[in-house]
Amino acid sequence: MKHNIIHMISWIIPISLSIIVVSCKDSWLDPKPLSFYTPENAYMDASGFEATLAACETEMFNEYNGDGCPILTEMIQSDICVEGTTDKAGPQMDMDKSLLPDANLNNMDYTRVGWYWEHGYAAIKSANVVISRINSGSFTSDAEKNKILGQAYFHRAYWYYKLVHQFGNVPFLDSELTEPKTDFYSSDRWSILAHLQTDLEFAYKWVPDNVDRGRVSKSACGILLMKIYLCLGEYQKAIEIGNAIVADHPLVTERFTSNKTKPNTNLMHDLHSVEAKLDMSNKEGLMYIVSYPNIEGSTTSKLMRNTLPRIVGVTTPDGLSGVVYTKNVEPQYEINTIYGRGIGRARCTNYYQYTIWTNKEKNDLRGVYNRDSWKSPADMWYNDPKLKSKGNIYYGQHLIKNPAMSVEDSVRSWYQWPHYKLFVPDPLSSDWYWGGETPMYIYRSAEVYLLMAEAYYWMDQPAMCASMLNVVRTRAGADPLTAGDINIGSILDERARELYYEENRHVEITRIAYIYAKTGKTCEYFGRTYSLDNFSGPGGAGSNIKQEGINFWYDWVNAKNNFYNKGVKHRWAEYKISVHHVLWPVPASAINANTNGVINQNIGYPGAEKNVEPKLVSSSN
């Protein structure tokens, strides 16, 4: 028996000891990540860096896609659109109430102002990771390395360009952060722009033009550099680059793609179709974001949901719901799959629906006179098969606007829209066509012409300005302008005609406002000059100044948008803007979490009294 015990111990103890030994080995407790990369194993060669550039491109994509996507905020904080969802509290209608630092600033049912802040910096983080780690990667050539570095510079500049026009002076981060930091300060926006200029000059030099669609090209770097040049008064340099870009990227002037024979379409339908962006003969695009049905990583654009009126609420005069989005409608009255279904998140203003389409645009393929290009609720039909089966006289007739339609309903359900630009097939939806997956343009050479026109405008060369605008106008069928027609309005109007749902409308108007304020150039349109000193007005939280002459953004939007400050109101809000909304509120969460430093709040919002002098960013790399 004793022997047995000894025998037992002789094998139990070694087992136990071996466990102790295993346990005590340091490697036993090494963390082993299995299914995700860490920076240490991700940035070995070009493909790792390119994957992170792809992350920047995902942020770029997300601005334009999905329900209540951020681009709508840029459109609503301008002259072309207002928030049209009049069935709930919260949306950005009365900016005095909805644009506050503590408010919900990143929510599709409120505003996406905060999205630009959060995701702009998220993309900058990824770009900075690439920039900071570029020297630790191994590349096949300096050219390859510089291409990637240049593309990272582009992405960083792409977002800072937006941020300095949306939020003014913002913190500038130029490298990867590897540990928690809470001592940030805002940087002077002009010095940030100067830094971006240097970066983009490098990028323009090294990034090749021939890249896959969705990646950053030389021309993309070029057009962004043009915008920076405009900001900084380097108009001639902007024109030089512009000319180089358009030489390689002519506008499309002939009908193309498989749609070219489709009835009730025109060149503009072709240019903005899904097929156009996959067509290699199309050289007009400079930078793309990519998405496509059944391709992984794609998401539905929700373009029609966001931008079309909500006509489902339009009833027949005898009180029946007459519009259906189901499959059993007669083909000639089909609405769902031909036009899509909207809820009116961005409702076109009269400026965009009527004002900018003058006699000179009678033949403009982009304009409301072309009823293939534009559609109105009155172009749709009462299509509910039930009406037919009951012998209702309204079946198959065009929709009739109810004379007793309430303000809410008319804001939301009765306006025209540029069908050629907003329709995206939604083949994976068996229900309502909200807008499917599609590649989109971020930059086209049409905008390059418009930027060159603007450069000539700032250089007081109206004839050259007109000739640049006319390249774009002529292609669309509009009458050419003469030097005498030129003022800042001609540029802004043309941008609205050409770049709806493409440009950041608020950013571009603000850019112009900054140039007026910086240069002191007289704005002939209002007969005023502006200054940087009181760009956001006199300030004071809650003062909500509605006085003209302080900044161009307010004057222009107040003048052109037929909702803001015109007494248009409904159950939820009155449409209002104030001068300080030229710049958006910095989200309070960013300021609050930055306990050891000061991130400035913009003048006019609560908290601006704590501001300190912004830091200067050095421009040398």
Partner 1 sequence: MDLYSNNEQIISKHLLKKVFNIMRSTIILCLLATFCSFAEVGYSQKTELSLHLQEVTLQEAFNAIKAQSDFSFWYRSDEVNLSKKVSVNADKQNIYNVMNQLLRGQELTYTIDNKHIIIYKKGSSTKEFQILQQNKKKISGKVVDQNGAPVIGANVVEKGTTNGTITDIDGKFTLDVSSNAILAISYIGYKANETPISKDLNSIVLKEDNEMLDEVVVVGYGTMKKKDLTGSISNVKAENLSAQNPRNVQDILRANAAGLNIGIATDAKADASLSIRGKGTLSASSDPLIVLDGVIYEGALADITPEDIASIDVLKDASSAAVYGAKAANGVIAITTKKGKNGKPIINLNANISVAQSASQPKILDAASFLKFRQDYNEGRNSDAYLAKYPQMFTNPFELNGLSQLDWYNYDQKKPVTSVTNDQLTTQWLSRLNLTTPEIENYFAGKITKWDDLVFQNGFQQNYTASVSNATDRTSQYFSINWADRKGVISGDRFTNLRIRANLESKITSFLTVGLNSQFSSRNEGYLKCSWNQMTMISPYGSNNIGDGSIYQRRPTGLDPINPFYDNLYTDRKDLHQNLNAKLYAQVTLPFGIQYVMNFTPYLSVYEYYNHYSSKGENHTATGGSSTRKNTKTFNWQIDNIFSWKKTIENIHNIEATFLINSEKSQFWSTTAQNSGYSPNDDLGYHALQSGSVPLVSSNDTYQTGDALMGRLFYSFRNKYMITTSIRRDGYSAFGKKNPHATFPAVALGWVFTQEKFMEKQNNWLNYAKMRLSWGENGNRDIGQYAALAQMTSSQRPYINSSGTLYTTSQMYVSTMANYNLKWERTASLNFGLDFSIFKDILSGSIEVYKAKTNDLLVNRALPNITGFTSVTANLGQLQNKGLEITLNANIINTKDFHWTASGNFSMNRRKINKLYGDMVDITDEKGNVIGQKEADDETNGWFIGQDPDRIWAYERLGVWQLNEKEEAAVYGCQPGDFKYKDQNGDGIMDNKDKIFQGYTTPRFRWTLRNELTYKDFSFSTVMYSYWKYYGAFQRAANNYSFPDRTSDYDFPRWTSTNPINDYARIGSKNIGTNYVNRSFIRLEEVTFSYNLPKKISQKFSVQALRLSCSIQNLAVWSPDWNFWDPESGSVTPRTFNFGINVTL
Helix, strand, or coil here: 609? helix
C-beta atoms surrounding 159 within 10 Å? 24
CA-wise closest residue to 159 among 512, 507, 526: 507
The residues that bridge with 346 in the sheet, in sequence order, are: 83
- Minimum CB separation of residue 5 from partner 1 in Å reads 6
CB of 474 to partner 1, least distance (A): 28
**Shortest distance in whole angstroms from residue 350 CB to partner 1:** 21
Backbone angles phi, psi at 440, to 5 degrees: -135, 160
Smallest distance from the beta carbon of 295 to partner 1, in angstroms?
5
- CB of 131 or CB of 468, closer to partner 1: 131
| Least distance in angstroms from the C-beta of 31 to partner 1 | 5
Q: Which residues pair with 528 in a beta bridge?
A: 523
Residue 80 or residue 590: which is nearer to partner 1 going by CB?
A: 590
d(CA 147, CA 197): 17
CB of 507 to partner 1, least distance (A): 19
Question: Residue 537 and residue 105: Cα distance in Å, rounded?
Answer: 22
Distances (CA, A) of 173 to 123, 125, 202, 505, 600: 12, 8, 19, 26, 15
Q: What is the Cα–Cα distance from 309 to 414, expressed in whole angstroms?
A: 6
**Residue 599: CB minimum distance to partner 1, A:** 7
**Cα 578 from Cα 581, distance rounded (Å):** 6
User: Per this entry, what is the length of the chain?
Assistant: 621
Q: Which is nearer to partner 1, 339 or 433 (CB)?
A: 433
Q: Quick one: 35 or 140, whose CB is closer to partner 1? A: 35
Of 146 and 383, the one with the shorter C-beta distance to partner 1 is 383
| Nearest-approach distance from CB 211 to partner 1, in angstroms | 9
* Cβ-based nearer residue to partner 1, 267 or 324: 324
**With respect to partner 1, which residue has the nearer C-beta, 171 or 367?**
171
Q: Coil, strand, or helix at residue 83?
A: strand
Distance of CA 79 to the CA centre of its chain: 15
Please list, residue by residue across 331-370, b when 16 or more beta carbons sit within 10 angstroms of its beta carbon and e when fewer do. eebebbbebbbbbbbbbbbebbbeebbeeebeebbbbbbb
Strands 374-375 and 417-418: antiparallel
Rounded distance, CA 457 to CA 235, Å?
A: 9
Strand, coil or helix: what is 170? strand
Based on CB atoms, which residue is closest to partner 1, 276 or 478? 276
Q: Residue holding tokens 């030229």?
A: 582
Nearer to partner 1, 67 or 408 (CB): 408
Q: How far is the CB of 540 from partner 1 (least distance, A)?
A: 10
